[in-house]
Amino acid sequence: MSDSSPVAPAARVPDPARVGQHGLEMVTALARSVSVETAATGKRVVAVVALA
């Protein structure tokens, strides 16, 4: 995923009562690794997941 914002995503404290803002929690729970790379026009978030 990439976007034009230079601000890196930050994991929030899990809160089942919170509506929305759970994307990074779900990605980090499912991925082997997650990294954020700066780009000329923002950032790129890379998640590595197992296919098998």
- Work out the pLDDT band at 52, boundaries 50, 70, 90: confident
Instruction: Quote the pLDDT of residue 9.
Output: 92
User: How does pLDDT run across 9-40, given as a tens digit for each residue?
Assistant: 998 888 889 998 888 989 999 999 999 999 99
Pick the closest to residue 37 from 27, 28, 29, 47 (CA basis): 47
Q: Which residues pair with 33 in a beta bridge?
A: 48
